[in-house]
Amino acid sequence: MELTAANKKHNIRLSKISKDDLELAKTFIQRVNQGVSMNLLTFREPDIVYICDASEYGLGGFASNGRAWTYQIPQELRNRAHINILEYIAQITSIWIDIIEGRTKKEDCILAIGDNTSAMGWLRRSNFRQKEESDKSWIVKQQLGRHLANLTLNADITLYKQWLKGSDCWRYG
């Protein structure tokens, strides 16, 4: 258990992971206190659609706003990360690039499309700990999930996801 009570009744020790979770929860509470636009809570036609993919050789994505990107994984780094993590990173990277470049607007509805069921599920997940996961895998997914939550929260955008069979993804775009 990550929460350990010390000998003194008023002293509680929290792990770094628990502290990071509490910081994110604090951010959510502060945002709710300021008020949340109904446009961020209701599904509507997406303003931007992202289609991303990954392989052991690289990552890439396309956005309906016309921007595309690729990243070739250096030879010495190939096959060091599971394809599910690479697909998840590709989805987050597409969104992150548009936020950095100012291509998203406040209250945009964005739709992420991919062919990896794990990565698509993780886009809306807040808890990654499973018995069969290694500590490293869990920590990476947890950090990526927190980063995505902060990105979308700070940009005031809402994120939806859609899994499609691989061959159908590219017909959509």
- The DSSP-derived string for 112-157 is EEES-HHHHHHTT-S----TTS-HHHHHHHHHHHHHHHHHHHHHT-
Nearest residue to 56 (alpha-carbon basis) of 40, 44, 73? 73
State the average pLDDT for the chain: 82
Whether the Cβ atoms of residue 161 and residue 123 lie closer than 8 Å to each other:
yes
Tens of pLDDT along 140-169?
A: 888 898 899 889 989 999 999 888 776 565
Average pLDDT over residues 82-88: 93
Nearest residue to 45 (alpha-carbon basis) of 109, 123, 124? 109
Nearest residue to 108 (alpha-carbon basis) of 29, 39, 36? 39
Whether the Cβ atoms of residue 144 and residue 88 lie closer than 8 Å to each other:
yes
**Percent over 90 (pLDDT), the chain:** 43
Sign of CA dihedral 41, 42, 43, 49: negative
- Please state the pTM of the whole predicted model: 0.74
Query: Confidence class of residue 137 from pLDDT cuts 50, 70 and 90?
Result: confident
pLDDT of residue 35: 74
How many residues does the structure list for the chain?
173
